[in-house]
Amino acid sequence: MRPDSTGVAIVGCGNIAARYAENLAGYPEMRLVGAYDVQPERARTLADPHGARVYGSLDEVVADDEVGIVVNLTVHRAHYEVIRRCLEAGKHVHSEKPLALTHEEAAGLVALAESRGVRLGCAPATFLGETQQTALKLLREGGIGRVRLVYAEVNWGRIESWHPEPEGFYEVGPLFDVGVYPLTIVTTALGPARRVTAFASVVRPDRVRKDGTPFTITTPDYVVANVEFDGPVTLRLTCDFYVNNEGTRQRGLEFHGDDGSLLLESWHDFDQALDLWTPGGPPRPVAPVREPYPRVEWGRAVRDLAAAIREDRPHRATGRQAAHVVEILCATRESYETGKPVELTSAFTPPAPMDWAV
């Protein structure tokens, strides 16, 4: 640990927090200062192995001068309020996805961060992975010619089969929970989207928790959207909480251009296959620009945020892009509820490639 290391506090110590903590503790230029959760024992379980403190409230987190960045890993519905309070206290924030549940709230957080002179970052940041950065590099270089169609398949399975408290996921639905992953990669490649037309339904309303408790869902567990970009380019996004990714051949992310296709096995993991298809032959593997990190390095965007602050440069996983993705999510919901296309108005500057993927 360096003497000038950046102090980080984690707020929300649920399922994903241990992976963030492990990454952050492994960066010599960063240190895990402490953790807070509404269930104190969860915070203690996370903090103790890293010698970090346990906060008794969010007020204690934002009052700690050792905390430079707050990593918000709370449940979806709490994101806006936690981020707002941290920004108002002058803390830089990296939040799990989505940034907020409405575009108005997401845009408000971006404006608040800018007015307070602090940074706002947001997941998902899997576009920073080696496979994804390799794909983005090929697209920038025109490796498949002019792109006209993109296919994204998000089959996230039945949450109750592995998570002890699945209701929160079903409350927001697969669109807001996992549709954000390919949307973030595609907007990184293509820039802001312009229009959405969508359909949704509840495929299986009656569900059962791992402990045997039945529950009923009302938020659509299946969504399909056509998202239009300048170019023109159309993304067909399909996401659900019913089909398991391992039980289908419809998976990953595909960019289709005039000269060929770029096929990503995963929009999630950093070390999955990437194939290039050109007319006249079978798909052939593309070597990543460097050795991939196994699965997902959850702390990579937080590390980039800290480095960007030190180096006075833009960070890559920005709140402004995340707010645009929230606008796409909300427009998709409005479209499937009304049966009409919805125009998009927000914009952002696509992030720079990682230094090793230029």
pLDDT digits over 289-338, tens only?
A: 999 999 999 999 999 999 999 999 999 999 999 999 999 999 999 999 99
- How confident is the model over 180-202, as a mean pLDDT? 98
pLDDT score of 344 more than 80: yes
Structural domains of the chain in order of their starting residue, each with its CATH number: 6-125+298-317 (3.40.50.720), 128-293+324-357 (3.30.360.10)
Distance, in Å, from the CA atom of 197 to the CA atom of 225, rounded to the nearest integer, reads: 6
What is the rounded average pLDDT for all residues in the chain?
97
Q: What is the pLDDT of residue 4?
A: 76
At 76-128, the pLDDT tens digits run: 999 999 999 999 999 999 999 999 999 999 999 999 999 999 999 999 999 99
Q: What is the pLDDT of residue 1?
A: 57
pLDDT score of 340 more than 80: yes
Distance, in Å, from the CA atom of 298 to the CA atom of 18, rounded to the nearest integer, reads: 10
Q: What is the pLDDT of residue 2?
A: 65
pLDDT score of 13 more than 80: yes
Q: What is the pLDDT of residue 80?
A: 98
pLDDT score of 235 more than 80: yes
Q: What is the pLDDT of residue 3?
A: 62
Q: What is the pLDDT of residue 199?
A: 98
CB atoms within 10 A of CB 130: 22
**Contacts (Cβ under 8 Å, ≥6 apart) of 47:** 32, 34, 35, 53, 54
Tokens 């707050």 belong to which residue? 70
Q: What is the pLDDT of residue 175?
A: 97
pLDDT band at 192 (very low <50, low <70, confident <90, very high): very high
CA 126 to chain centre: 7
254 touches 260 (CB < 8 A): no
pTM greater than 0.85 (yes/no):
yes
**Contacts (Cβ under 8 Å, ≥6 apart) of 241:** 156, 157, 158, 159, 169, 170, 173, 174, 221, 222
- How confident is the model over 206-216, as a mean pLDDT? 97
Percent of the residues in the chain that have a pLDDT greater than 70, as a whole number: 99
- How confident is the model over 130-146, as a mean pLDDT? 98
SS3 at position 304: helix
